[in-house]
Structure 1
Amino acid sequence: MTEPMTRPFVLLTQNDCPNCDRLKMMLAKPLKGQFDDRIVMLHRQNDADEFAALTAAHHIQTTPALLHLPSGRVLLNTGGLGEVQRFLAS
């Protein structure tokens, strides 16, 4: 990842992750990209060092995960539209 982490949220994702794909689709379709300017996407295979550092620092062991960098809050249950929207709006 070459861009600095200036956005408050990080989406941790990886290859062959149906739930990751579902969350990305949720962000793009029902939420219409309204949070795109607030989220940095970190991919396990493409951004290995940053991914490993954040997952270790925040004790994250599953993907997808949404991380709010300023507070350290983590959302692991990303299956519900309402939960994701509330987390990203906070």
Structure 2
Amino acid sequence: MSTEPPFVLFTQAACPQCETLKRMLALPLRGAFDDQIEVVHRQEQPEQFETLAETYHLSRTPALLHRPSGKLLLDTGGLGAVKAFLQQG
């Protein structure tokens, strides 16, 4: 059985939307999904980021990936959409 979290958060430096999404996960959602999300940072983990980005056809950050289904959430600006996406896990 895999111990990988079901979700991946793709992020990178100098990305205001990435910071907004991280704040959303920490504050309104109170970290409720933290144990289910692996953060992959473009500059800090370039090989892992590129491999996953290529596999799932990622075109921009921030993005959330649901590993079991392969679905990507690119529209991460709304709390409702992010919460609904994370609740499928």
On whether the aligned pair clears a TM of 0.5, the verdict is: yes
1:45-70: per-residue Cα shift (whole Å, max 9, x none)?
A: 00000100011111111000000111
- Find the counterpart in structure 2 of residue 34 from structure 1: 32
Matched, 1:6 2:4: yes
Q: When the two structures are superposed, what TM-score results if normalisation uses the length of structure 2?
A: 0.95
CA RMSD across the alignment: 1.1
Q: Name which of 79, 84, 87 aligns with 1:86.
A: 84
Matched, 1:56 2:54: yes
Relative to structure 1, the CA distance from residue 35 to residue 65 in structure 2 (aligned partners, 3 Å threshold; closer, same or farther) is same
Distance 1:44 1:5 in 2: 22
- Find the counterpart in structure 2 of residue 21 from structure 1: 19
Structure 2 unaligned spans of 5+: none
Amino acid at match of 2:17: N
Q: Number of residue pairs matched?
A: 87
Identity percentage of aligned residues: 53
Does the Cα contact within 8 Å between 1:5 and 1:40 map onto a contact in 2? no
Q: Which 4+ runs in 1 deviate beyond 6 A?
A: none
Distance 1:16 1:44 in 2: 11
Once the 2 structures are TM-superposed, how far is the Cα of residue 72 of structure 1 from its aligned partner?
0.2
Structure 1 unaligned spans of 5+: none
Once the 2 structures are TM-superposed, how far is the Cα of residue 34 of structure 1 from its aligned partner?
0.2
Q: When the two structures are superposed, what TM-score results if normalisation uses the length of structure 1?
A: 0.94
